[in-house]
A and B are shown apart, each in its own frame.
Chain A
Amino acid sequence: MSVPEGKPSDLLSSYNPGLYFDELFGAMDLPAEHTALIRQRLAALDFDELRRRAQDAERELYNLGITFIVYSDKDAVDRILPFDVIPRVISAPEWAHLERGVKQRVAALNLFLHDIYHDQKILKDGVIPRDLVEGNHNFRPQMIGLDVPFNTYIHIMGTDLVRDRHGTFRVLEDNGRVPSGVSYVVENRHMMQRVFPDLMQDIGIRPVDNYGHKLLDAMVEIAPAGVDDPQVVLLSPGTYNSAYFEHIFLAREMGVPLVEGRDLVVDNDRVYMKTTNGLAPVHSIYRRLDDAFLDPKAFNPDSLLGVPGILEAYRKGNVALANAIGTGVADDKAVYCYVPRMIKYYMDQDPIIPNVDTRICREPDALQYTLDNLADLVVKPVGEAGGYGITIGPRASKAELEDCRAKLLADPSNYISQPVVDLSVCPTVCDEAIEPRHVDLRPFAITGKSSWVLPGGLSRVALKKGTLIVNSSQGGGSKDTWVLEGGAA
């Protein structure tokens, strides 16, 4: 590539993260030592070459069908999750901290779920308002009094983390129902190994490809007692689900059948799948279907995706479900605000990874504060996922702010507010140059008997300049996340 006059040839020398914390460079006053070699290698690359490799990677993702489906008015279109070839790098000590923090959080949420479906001590002690829990539409009375193996409810958890201007990781959101995205973690690594083996050489990156084994181990651990060789399956809503690729990926990695509701039947409170040789028993189900669709007999009667009678089979202990039914009450955005208090209450510890400062608009003071500072805050509905319904004060128009104010006043308990977090940035290949783009991080934790956290997680990147919303449904992409091996170890 011919270098434009006056522009230095070093690929990163004109890069400027501004005021944000940068994942590759670190803070301005705290340069990231652990990425020095990676930066050096990146800087030596030619921009056209980088673009070409990036295009090759995206072409390959499309050909491999590593896609999600976007539905428009008429068509269902296969889209790839845009992939950026510049990795996001996490040092060994940073990761050790995150790993402990995620495990702590999973433990607290599982203790909480066990408590609210049994003795409800935390409600009796007034630590969390009772109506917030029992009035939550994801609270499942069917779970009351039911014991689950190892008291684990959230077997697969995705914790959304962001990093503020000072480089402090904070929890933005818990995903304890059917968190998705882990397939991209593994596939992004494969992609990097194909297009950028030279960048990765001798860096010492912790592998991510054993996720399937770990998941299968947990699924076997939680299977009903007394079954020698439990049949594990993955239950998917089917090929039209936007995350179908991930379902395929996980079923393959675990080496188990990918079933749909219509493949399963319940007979005498036992679950079976329909095979070429008749019915075969099923013992442990990784379900990628929300509670509401799981059993038309017990929940949404219109669901064609579920399995009639499966709740009863579950209650009898004849089949294991991951995640357990009724976990949605723990990853609710309003309950989220209480997680630090939960950690203290159940574990007598301080949160290792703090929350983002959050106000619960059901509390009058918080509502007033939110209304008074609307233009500076992010307001989120508590029940939505995928970045929908969010109002970002500093970027909203007058009309949008007024609309938000009206909604807040009409139904305050449906909202929380948070300050705008200055999400950290990471160098990203853009049309003309390498530019800073905001990223978040979703580590995945698997819990059966004990917890294991996949080193790294999904780094989502907001590809549109300036935007903070990283969700794939809103134009986000992803990056490979490198957790470096620790020092001499």
Chain B
Amino acid sequence: MNLLSRYAECIFWMARYMERAENLARILDVHETFARDTRGATNWFSVVQLNADEKDFFSRHDRPTAEAVIHYYMFDPQNRNSLLSMLRMARENARTLRPWISTEMWTQINVFHNKLLEMSVKDVATQNLSKVCTWIKEECQSHTGITEGTFYRDQGWYFYQMGKYIERADQTTRLLDIKYHTLLPSPVEVGSTLDVSQWTTVLRSTAGYHAFRRVYPRGMSPTTVAGFMLFNEGFPRSVVMCVRQIDGVLTRMRSRYDLRGGAAAMERVDELLAALLSRPIDAVLRDGLHEYLDWIQLQLNVITTEIAQAFFGVQPPLAVQSQSQ
């Protein structure tokens, strides 16, 4: 059966927004316990930096206090990177897609969105933030599970997978980048207690701590942690794992449905994968992790653009979407 370009685009973005929401919850959660300076105060500003939202944030707030940042990323309807905005866009896409997705998928997103809409900053006073983030993660995981169990496997499924893995790869680079932003202002020694605990928290935020321990039972260093999150072949949130998925999904979809478009996107994915596999982690750290992560994000944007041009039609401005961050 034919898949409307507009539907393909909505599916792709619905998947991205749900994945993005889950990761934002992870980032907020990890900041509460993790991103503290030497005096133990939480550095909420790094969340703003991480999302490159400085300009927009300071147009409405004087200082990055806990309350301001949490409100900005949880409930601010004007911030398109807030959880509420993401859920609104995921829901709008899901609403458009209701003839295509399962009723269970739609209902879960609808109820999730409506619950979030009823919440306020009071519900998320800092002591409750972790609980709320856990709830959001679980709702996102429910979505993933319901989708896995009910979404009919045709072209739409492939676009869903592509959206999800592109977003996840992007978000993993952002989580990893937390270290860059939070570390810069403080002169913490590599290998110090604080340093190790920060790396541990990065791993925990991606639910990767135990897997990491299994692979590296002794010692934890920037090399091993960054290497694990970027290149590990078994870790479901590693960048290489995600790009391999994108590669496989795109290849299978094009051949199974005899799609003419997508050759350029395919090339870009192959290039990115080859580049990831050819660069040792030591070289990455030596030349600058932050710059490397930026470069990956840029490649993912290019891939998105190629997919959009190949499958969503040349002018796709009307579906609910935004550019990748």
Q: List A residues at the B interface (Cβ < 8 Å).
A: 62-65, 231, 239, 244, 248, 251-252, 257-260, 262-263, 273-278, 280
Which residues of B lie under 8 Å from residue A277 when comparing CB positions? Answer: 2-3, 257-261
* Cβ B99 vs Cβ A64 within 8 A: no
* Cβ B155 vs Cβ A276 within 8 A: yes
Partner of B107, one of A64, A239, A275: A64
Which residues of B lie under 8 Å from residue A258 when comparing CB positions? Answer: 99
Which residues of B lie under 8 Å from residue A262 when comparing CB positions? Answer: 6, 318
Partner of B3, one of A63, A65, A260, A276: A276
Which residues of B lie under 8 Å from residue A62 when comparing CB positions? Answer: 114
A252–B311 CA distance with the chains assembled, in angstroms: 23
CB distance from A476 to the nearest CB of B (A): 24
* Cβ B258 vs Cβ A274 within 8 A: no
B 309-325 binary contact with A (CB < 8 Å = 1; else 0): 00111000010000000
A140–B92 CA distance with the chains assembled, in angstroms: 36
A275–B311 CA distance with the chains assembled, in angstroms: 8
CB distance from A423 to the nearest CB of B (A): 34
* Cβ B99 vs Cβ A65 within 8 A: no
The reply on B268 being an interface residue by CB < 8 A is no
* Cβ A259 vs Cβ B258 within 8 A: no
Q: Which residue of A lies closest to B320 (CB)?
A: A239
A103–B155 CA distance with the chains assembled, in angstroms: 42
CB distance from B249 to the nearest CB of A (A): 14
Partner of A63, one of B6, B8, B96, B107: B107
Q: Which residue of B lies closest to A60 (CB)?
A: B107
A248–B96 CA distance with the chains assembled, in angstroms: 8
Partner of B2, one of A239, A244, A260, A280: A280
The reply on B4 being an interface residue by CB < 8 A is yes
A-B CB pair tally, cutoff 8 Å: 67
* Cβ B111 vs Cβ A276 within 8 A: no
* Cβ A275 vs Cβ B5 within 8 A: yes
Which residues of A lie under 8 Å from residue B301 when comparing CB positions? Answer: none
A133–B2 CA distance with the chains assembled, in angstroms: 42
* Cβ A273 vs Cβ B111 within 8 A: no
Q: Given A262-B318, A276-B259, check contact A251 B5 (CB 8 Å).
A: no
Which residues of A lie under 8 Å from residue B6 when comparing CB positions? Answer: 260, 262-263, 274
CB distance from B198 to the nearest CB of A (A): 41
* Cβ A276 vs Cβ B110 within 8 A: no
Which residues of A lie under 8 Å from residue B103 when comparing CB positions? Answer: 64
Q: Given A65-B98, A258-B99, check contact A276 B107 (CB 8 Å).
A: no
* Cβ A274 vs Cβ B5 within 8 A: yes
Which residues of B lie under 8 Å from residue A248 when comparing CB positions? Answer: 98-99
The reply on B181 being an interface residue by CB < 8 A is no
Which residues of B lie under 8 Å from residue A273 when comparing CB positions? Answer: 2, 4
B 2-36 binary contact with A (CB < 8 Å = 1; else 0): 11111110000000000000000000000000000
Partner of B5, one of A63, A65, A276: A276
Q: Which residue of B lies closest to A254 (CB)?
A: B99
CB distance from A235 to the nearest CB of B (A): 12
Partner of B4, one of A63, A64, A244, A259: A259
- Give the 10 A-B CB pairs with smallest separation, nearest first: A251-B99, A275-B2, A248-B98, A258-B99, A276-B311, A280-B2, A274-B5, A276-B8, A276-B3, A65-B110
Q: Given A239-B95, A258-B99, A277-B257, check contact A263 B110 (CB 8 Å).
A: no
Which residues of A lie under 8 Å from residue B114 when comparing CB positions? Answer: 62-63
Kindly list 10 other residue pairs between chains A and B, CB separation below 8 angstroms, not including A274-B4, A276-B8.
Answer: A62-B114, A64-B107, A65-B106, A273-B2, A273-B4, A274-B6, A276-B2, A276-B159, A276-B259, A278-B260
Q: Which of A263, A276, A280 has the most CB of B within 10 A?
A: A276
A280–B155 CA distance with the chains assembled, in angstroms: 15
A86–B103 CA distance with the chains assembled, in angstroms: 26
Which residues of A lie under 8 Å from residue B5 when comparing CB positions? Answer: 263, 274-276
Chain B residues numbered 100-146 whose CB sits less than 8 Å from any CB in chain A: 103, 106-107, 110-111, 114
Q: Which residue of A lies closest to B103 (CB)?
A: A64
Q: Which residue of A lies closest to B258 (CB)?
A: A277
Task: Supply 8 A–B pairs (Cβ within 8 Å), ascending by A.
Answer: A258-B99, A262-B318, A263-B4, A276-B259, A276-B261, A277-B2, A277-B257, A277-B261
B 229-244 binary contact with A (CB < 8 Å = 1; else 0): 0000000000000000
Q: Which residue of B lies closest to A233 (CB)?
A: B4
* Cβ A239 vs Cβ B155 within 8 A: no
Chain B residues numbered 161-177 whose CB sits less than 8 Å from any CB in chain A: none
Q: Which of A65, A244, A257, A273 has the most CB of B within 10 A?
A: A65
Which residues of B lie under 8 Å from residue A251 when comparing CB positions? Answer: 99
Which residues of B lie under 8 Å from residue A263 when comparing CB positions? Answer: 4-6
A307–B143 CA distance with the chains assembled, in angstroms: 36
A205–B29 CA distance with the chains assembled, in angstroms: 54
* Cβ B259 vs Cβ A257 within 8 A: no
* Cβ B99 vs Cβ A257 within 8 A: yes
* Cβ B3 vs Cβ A275 within 8 A: yes
A260–B319 CA distance with the chains assembled, in angstroms: 12
Chain B residues numbered 249-273 whose CB sits less than 8 Å from any CB in chain A: 257-261
A274–B6 CA distance with the chains assembled, in angstroms: 8
Which residues of A lie under 8 Å from residue B96 when comparing CB positions? Answer: 239
CB distance from A331 to the nearest CB of B (A): 28
CB distance from B115 to the nearest CB of A (A): 10
Which residues of B lie under 8 Å from residue A231 when comparing CB positions? Answer: 2
A277–B257 CA distance with the chains assembled, in angstroms: 9
CB distance from B231 to the nearest CB of A (A): 32
A28–B146 CA distance with the chains assembled, in angstroms: 53
Partner of A239, one of B92, B110, B259, B261: B92
Which residues of A lie under 8 Å from residue B312 when comparing CB positions? Answer: 276
Q: Which residue of B lies closest to A258 (CB)?
A: B99
Q: Given A276-B155, A277-B259, check contact A257 B106 (CB 8 Å).
A: no
Which residues of A lie under 8 Å from residue B99 when comparing CB positions? Answer: 248, 251-252, 257-258
Partner of B95, one of A64, A65, A276, A280: A65
* Cβ A274 vs Cβ B106 within 8 A: no
Chain B residues numbered 205-231 whose CB sits less than 8 Å from any CB in chain A: none
A277–B255 CA distance with the chains assembled, in angstroms: 12
Q: Which residue of B lies closest to A236 (CB)?
A: B99
CB distance from A368 to the nearest CB of B (A): 52
Which residues of B lie under 8 Å from residue A65 when comparing CB positions? Answer: 95, 98, 106-107, 110
Chain B residues numbered 73-100 whose CB sits less than 8 Å from any CB in chain A: 92, 95-96, 98-99
A64–B98 CA distance with the chains assembled, in angstroms: 11
Partner of A257, one of B2, B107, B257: B2
Which residues of B lie under 8 Å from residue A239 when comparing CB positions? Answer: 92, 95-96
Q: Given A248-B98, A257-B99, A258-B99, check contact A63 B111 (CB 8 Å).
A: yes
CB distance from B257 to the nearest CB of A (A): 7
Which residues of A lie under 8 Å from residue B313 when comparing CB positions? Answer: 274
